[in-house]
Structure 1
Amino acid sequence: MNNAGNDYGLWGLVVVNSLIFIGFAYSFFKPVNLRDWRSFGAYSAFIVALFAEMYGFPLTIYLLSGWLGSKFPGVNLFGHEAGHLWWLLTGRQGNPHFGVLHLLSFVFIFAGFTLLSKSWHVLYHAQRRHHLATAGPYRWVRHPQYIGFVAIMFGFLLQWPTLLTLAIFPVLVAMYVRLSITEERESEQAFGQAWLDYAAVTPRFTPKFGRNGARPVNSH
């Protein structure tokens, strides 16, 4: 196994990148209640685990080093490029940062943050008026903020998969589903028929486009 150079142990980058992406999400999400903090905390844990392996300690590389070393004997497994496992496992050459999956990951990450931003703006004004949020992204799905978090995490998995984040991801998705169900029960209690009318035409997570797509309803 070739480990001539080690690009890890950069814990300063772990802290800086974690703070940037957690802080960026916080500026859009603005947790208020316990449910908000649970969803935001789960996302934050994913981000810390991701960057800890990306720049700090490559746990996945160490655990798979025997198999990876025999399959790719000429590759420096502890160089940064080897951490792009999708690129490595498919035998691609060149700079992984220009690969299709890496570029696609930016699309998901950008879309996720954009969705968080637009959703929070709508939700903030709806809560101030004690109305049900049905405009903007809420016109198409009932939980756009949770979709935003999932899109961001999925984007990072496309560019830097690790055993830990791959294991965490489905657990977090399941948690967001459970939180959404709890949130819907509370919304039904708070808004009654307005919520039932909204939920009848607006999917929980998967938008319906076209003539039969979601329509805004009275949010009072």
Structure 2
Amino acid sequence: MHDAAPAYGLWSLVIVNSAVFILFAYSFFKPQTSRDWRSFGAFSAFLVALFVEMYGFPLTIYFLSGWLQSRYPNVDWFSHDAGHLLEMLFGWTTNPHAGPFHVLSYIFIAAGFILISVAWGVLYEAQRTRCLATTGPYSYVRHPQYVGFVLVMFGFLLQWPTILTLAMFPVLTVMYVKLARDEEHEARTEFGEAYARYAAQVPAFFPHLGRRSARGSSGGYRLG
């Protein structure tokens, strides 16, 4: 597989794609506190690292080139299509953009952004009316926006896995869990029994399908 156009060194595409996705996420998440900015900044760093390898410099391909070339000698590993490593490694011989991992990545990315967006709408209304956010996505998990960020990152990993983003993913996931725990500590201090009842009914990150929480109690707090 050979591309006529340059596959990498397209730094304008790195900048444009990074800016588009970061601004897109910003429009959904709307960070306000220092904690919000930390979580959003980490997500933005993940996107920049991804697009640098997707369009700028293929560090992962260079690092694995010897092994890849020996195992798959008929693949031009420095073409852009070959960057879709999972399709290549599993023998997908047609357009990788139509491959199973790429299609699945779209589902995860779309689901993540939709979850972040819908959660923000519920959160904004809860803040406006001085209530805990316990409806919509918050009736399934206590931290839907953090779950949304993880879904988006996982989707991009399916689409274009790199050594750097694979290393960043568990670190950022742990960071989001820690930020969520910090938020919960503050919420329990601020709202006491009201938040305790909510937390007893609704899991933090993995929903109990088919079961929903009771709707909001008094108070106003930003949950991730």
Shorter-chain TM-score category? over 0.9
Q: Percent identity?
A: 61
Runs ≥4 residues deviating over 3 A: 2-6
Contact 2:3 2:80 in 1 (8 A): no
Contact 2:87 2:100 in 1 (8 A): no
SS at match of 1:77: coil
* Correspondence for 2:125: 125
Contact 1:5 1:78 in 2 (8 A): no
Contact 1:4 1:76 in 2 (8 A): no
* Correspondence for 1:190: 190
Deviations 1:111-134 (A, max 9, x none): 001000000011112122332110
* Correspondence for 1:74: 74
* Correspondence for 1:214: 212
Contact 2:131 2:216 in 1 (8 A): no
* Correspondence for 1:95: 95
Task: Tell me, in whole angstroms, the C-alpha distance in 1 between the residues paired with 2:64 and 2:5.
Answer: 18
* Correspondence for 1:138: 138
Contact 1:108 1:154 in 2 (8 A): yes
Task: Tell me, in whole angstroms, the C-alpha distance in 2 between the residues paired with 1:166 and 1:129.
Answer: 40
* Correspondence for 2:86: 86
How far has the Cα of 1:5 moved from its partner?
7.1
How far has the Cα of 1:89 moved from its partner?
1.2
Deviations 1:5-58 (A, max 9, x none): 741000000011001111000001000001100110110000000000000000
Q: Which amino acid aligns with 2:54?
A: M
How far has the Cα of 1:76 moved from its partner?
1.2
Inter-CA distance 3–99: structure 2 relative to 1 (3 Å threshold): closer
Q: Does 1:159 align with 2:159?
A: yes
Task: Tell me, in whole angstroms, the C-alpha distance in 1 between the residues paired with 2:216 and 2:160.
Answer: 43
How far has the Cα of 1:4 moved from its partner?
8.9
Higher alpha-carbon deviation: 126-135 or 54-63: 126-135
Contact 2:135 2:215 in 1 (8 A): no
Task: Tell me, in whole angstroms, the C-alpha distance in 2 between the residues paired with 1:33 and 1:11.
Answer: 32
How far has the Cα of 1:92 moved from its partner?
2.0
Task: Tell me, in whole angstroms, the C-alpha distance in 2 between the residues paired with 1:56 and 1:218.
Answer: 47
Contact 2:135 2:216 in 1 (8 A): no
Q: Which amino acid aligns with 1:192?
A: G
Task: Tell me, in whole angstroms, the C-alpha distance in 2 between the residues paired with 1:23 and 1:97.
Answer: 24
RMSD: 1.5
Q: Does 1:179 align with 2:171?
A: no
Deviations 1:153-184 (A, max 9, x none): 00001110000000100001000000000000
Runs of at least 5 residues in structure 2 that lack an aligned partner in the other structure: 219-224
- What's the TM-score once normalised by structure 1's chain length? 0.95
SS at match of 1:75: coil
How far has the Cα of 1:70 moved from its partner?
1.2
Contact 1:81 1:96 in 2 (8 A): yes
- What's the TM-score once normalised by structure 2's chain length? 0.93
- How many pairs does the alignment contain? 217
How far has the Cα of 1:73 moved from its partner?
1.7
Runs of at least 5 residues in structure 1 that lack an aligned partner in the other structure: none
Higher alpha-carbon deviation: 116-125 or 69-78: 69-78
